[in-house]
Amino acid sequence: MAVIEGALVYSNLLALLSIGLTITYITTGVPNFAQGTMAVFGSYVSLTLWLLFGVHPYHTIPVSFILGGILGIAIYTVVLRPMIQKEAMIVILMIATLAVDLILLGALGAYSETLGVISGKGTRKFIFTPMDFKILGADAILVISSLAILMLLFTLFLLLYKTKFGIALRASMENPALAEIMGVNVEYTRIFSWFLSGSLAAVAGTLLPFRQEIVPATGAIIIVSIFAASIVGGLSSIYGALAGGYIIGMSESMVTFYLSKVIGPYILVYSKVISLIVLIIALIVAPSGIAGLEIWRKRVWRKSSSS
Amino acid sequence: MLRAEKLSAGYKELHILFEINANVERKKITTVVGPNGSGKSTFLKSIFGLTTIHSGRVIYNDKDVTLTPPHERTKMGIAYLPQVDNVFTNLTVEENLKIAGYTLDNGEYKDRKDLALDVFPELEYRMNQKAGTLSGGERQFLAIATALIRRAELLMLDEPTAMLSPKFANTIFDKILELKDRLGLTILLVEQNVKKALEISDNAYLLISGRVAFEGKAEELLDHEKFEQLCIGI
Ligand SMILES: Nc1ncnc2c1ncn2[C@@H]1O[C@H](COP(=O)(O)OP(=O)(O)OP(=O)(O)O)[C@@H](O)[C@H]1O
Ligand SMILES: [Mg+2]
């Protein structure tokens, strides 16, 4: 795959992930460190359907979407919501998501062993690249990941600006206490945001093996880039997260590629360092991220936020 | 229409209100005055279910609503306008109105919106403007308009004239009177603009350190021999 194409695919997927992370951060105030492993969950959903039923991974996207969404809701309602209701501090919530990440990682590890036994194939590492094909001369993954982003943006736009539920969602993001006063059941909007975040992560996970090899621990590595992208985006707007995804995705891929030419291929191992350097530079230039360039203030949760 | 019975409330373990007995009569304006920090906002929030109730009850239309969640109270016709942040600044005026009609079906929403715009025609020209860019007075108009759309029967306003010029404040008082006379709304008002507020009010409560220090007709409080004295703290 050509370098630019690869970088674009990676950025598309990163944008899906950072948009999901940002949405749940805005609505529930949780910095979700399990987002990367939630993506790998999607990779395994697709792998399973491929190995056991011969379904091409691209056709598994809807299943991945739904199961990922259910996983998102489960993580929120079972683990995080009870803590939030007891007004847990953000550090506690963060550590809770790390715990969720470890549990998921363990579960995926055990599952991949079992799947290997059932299917009689090695599943500890896998890649879908050999199954990819060409659409109009381009790798299908480039077309499909770009379409995924475009469809997401289009649907989100329609949802957020043209439907009543979407307006309620934006209202709850800005001022949950006031939304509640207006008769919006804010809890629904929170559950919805975790569904969406989980399903976007799983879809990204279905597509990721077309670009790189997956192991259960892949999530723990890409989470660095997801956070970098979300923070560069300002953690407060969907468009910020989108831009952050491309800034981090492109620079991580391109810079490592050129460095590997100049210095040697061993530099590839350190590609996440590039994300972090870009993150630091971006924060020096725009301290509250891209979205911070616009005025934005809001506080999550506190019911009594209004005087 | 609304009664607080021996209501003690606050924030978590913090006690702010002590055994408040209050009665809000239907189609009347009831005003709560008191020094800063005396618990006026806390009183409105408690009636709407946004605080910790330590003891006592809130009765609305003969139903005990002490434990009813806020969004349910909205459906029952109670509207509460917070002192600050009472509109969504990132949403347009039109979207703010729409969200206010969240629990209504389309036809009814249209009727309520027409009614709200009839009372506040100033908003008509600003429908696509973000609420964050409205002037302070226009913002209060929008906030009250959202309450009208919510089919409010009981309208609770927390200092709607704070930080407005005297001229705009008077306009707001006129509108409040109009809401009562023309639409038959019941209004529970918290005000720092004591004289003006009592002039348009029927009943009044004076709150000091979380306790009721006076209750009666608004003009009684205005004429109260100790009124000037009471006002010193306000
Ligand atoms: N969310 C909160 N958490 C803890 N304490 C609070 C909270 N909100 C208000 N208080 C405290 O409750 C007391 C009463 O506050 P309240 O806002 O009800 O007063 P107020 O009469 O409305 O004052 P003002 O005229 O300044 O608006 C104050 O001492 C305040 O510090
Ligand atoms: Mg107050």
- First and final C-alpha spacing in chain A: 57
Contact across the interface for B84 and A178, Cβ inside 8 Å: no
Interface-testing mutation among B16, B50, B99, with chain A (most A C-beta atoms within 10 A): B99
Confidence of residue A304 (pLDDT cuts 50, 70, 90): very low
What are the phi and psi torsion angles at A301 (to 5°)?
70, -60
Contacts by A257-263 with C-beta closer than 8 Å and gap 24+? A257/A3, A257/A7
3-state class of A88 per DSSP?
Answer: coil
Q: Is the pLDDT of residue A296 over 90?
A: no
DSSP string, B63-128: EE-TT--HHHHHHTTEEEE-SS--S-TTSBHHHHHHHHTTTS-HHHHHHHHHHHHHH-GGGGGGTT
Q: Which residues of A touch B82 (CB under 8 A)?
A: 177-178, 181, 306-307
Structure confidence at residue B229 (pLDDT): 61
Looking at chain B, the number of H-run helices and the number of E-run strands are: 9, 10
What's the token pair of residue B71?
Answer: 């969004």
Query: Distance between CA B54 and CA B6 in Å, rounded?
Result: 10
Q: Average pLDDT for residues B155-181, to the nearest whole number?
A: 91
CA distances from B145 to A273, B57, B99 (A): 53, 29, 12
Q: Do A170 and B91 touch (CB under 8 A)?
A: yes
State residue A125 phi and psi, 5-degree precision: -125, 145
Contact B83 A307 (CB under 8 A): yes
Q: List pLDDT tens digits, range A44-53.
A: 999 999 999 9
Q: For residue range A51-84, what is the model confidence (pLDDT) as tens digits?
A: 999 999 999 999 999 999 999 999 999 999 999 9
Q: Which of A159, A213, A218 is nearest to A189 (CA)?
A: A159
Cβ atoms B174, B207 nearer than 8 A = no
Q: What is the DSSP letter of A126?
A: B
- How far from the centroid of its chain's Cα atoms is residue A56's Cα? 22
Question: What order do you get walking across the sheet with B186-190 strand by strand?
Answer: B78-81, B154-158, B186-190, B29-33, B203-208, B211-217
SS3 content of chain B, % helix, strand, coil (to 5): 40, 30, 30
Cα B71 to Cα A121, A180, B1, B190: the distances in Å are 54, 5, 19, 22
pLDDT of residue A32: 96
Q: How many CB atoms lie within 10 A of CB B234?
A: 14
Distance from CA of B99 to the nearest CA of A (A): 6
Q: What percent of chain A lies above the pLDDT cut of 90?
A: 69
For B69, other C-beta atoms within 10 Å of its C-beta total: 12
Which region, left, alpha or beta, applies to residue B201 given φ > 0 means left and ψ of -120 to 50 means alpha? beta
Are A22 and A240 a contacting pair, CB within 8 Å? yes
- The environment of the single-atom ion ligand 2, i.e. residues with CB closer than 5 A, is B 41, 83
Q: What's at B183, amino acid-wise?
A: L
Nearest atom, ligand 1, residue B40 CA: 21
Q: B134: closest CA among B173, B94, B166, B100? A: B94
Which residue lies with its CA nearest to atom 17 of ligand 1?
B41
Q: What is the rounded distance in angstroms from the CA atom of residue A58 to the CA atom of residue A207? A: 8
Q: What is d(CA A241, CA A32) in angstroms, rounded to the nearest whole number?
A: 14
Q: Do B83 and A175 touch (CB under 8 A)?
A: no
In this structure, which amino acid lies at residue B72? E
Q: How far apart are CA B121 and CA B123, in angstroms?
A: 5
> What integer is the mean pLDDT of B103-116?
91
Q: Report chain A's C-alpha Rg in angstroms.
A: 19
The structure tokens 């500890």 sit at A124
Q: Are A289 and A234 in contact (CB under 8 A)?
A: yes
Q: What DSSP character marks residue B104?
A: S
Q: What residues does B59 pair with on adjacent strands? A: B3, B64
The tens digit of pLDDT for each residue in A196-255 reads: 999 999 999 999 999 999 999 999 999 999 999 999 998 888 899 999 999 999 999 998
Q: Are A184 and B71 in contact (CB under 8 A)?
A: yes
Identify all chain B residues contacting A165, using CB atoms and an 8 Å cutoff: none
- Quote the tokens at residue A95: 């550590």
C-alpha closest to that of A300 among A170, A124, A202, A176: A176
Q: Give buried/exposed letters for B194-204 (b at 16+ CB in 10 A, else e).
A: bebbbebbbbb
pLDDT per residue as tens digits for the range A13-29:
999 999 999 999 999 99
Give the confidence band of B136 by pLDDT, cuts at 50, 70, 90.
confident
Cβ partners under 8 Å of residue A94, min gap 6: A30, A31, A33
CB A49 within 8 A of CB A60: yes
Is the pLDDT confidence value at B164 over 90?
no
Alpha-carbon distance B224 to nearest alpha carbon in chain A (angstroms): 30
> Which one-letter amino acid corresponds to residue B187?
I
Please write the tens of the pLDDT for every residue from A108-126: 999 999 999 998 887 789 9
Is it the case that residue B138 has pLDDT exceeding 50?
yes
* Cα–Cα–Cα angle for B149, A165, A11, rounded to 5 degrees: 145
**DSSP E strands: which ranges in A88-178?**
134-135, 138-139
CB B105 within 8 A of CB B149: no
Q: Pick from B45, B85, B93, B106 the residue to mutate for testing the A interface (most A CBs within 10 Å).
A: B85
Phi, psi dihedral angles at B37 (to 5 degrees) = 80, 10
pLDDT digits (tens, 9 = 90+) for A145-182: 999 999 999 999 999 999 999 999 999 988 998 998 88
What ipTM was assigned to the predicted interfaces of this complex?
0.82
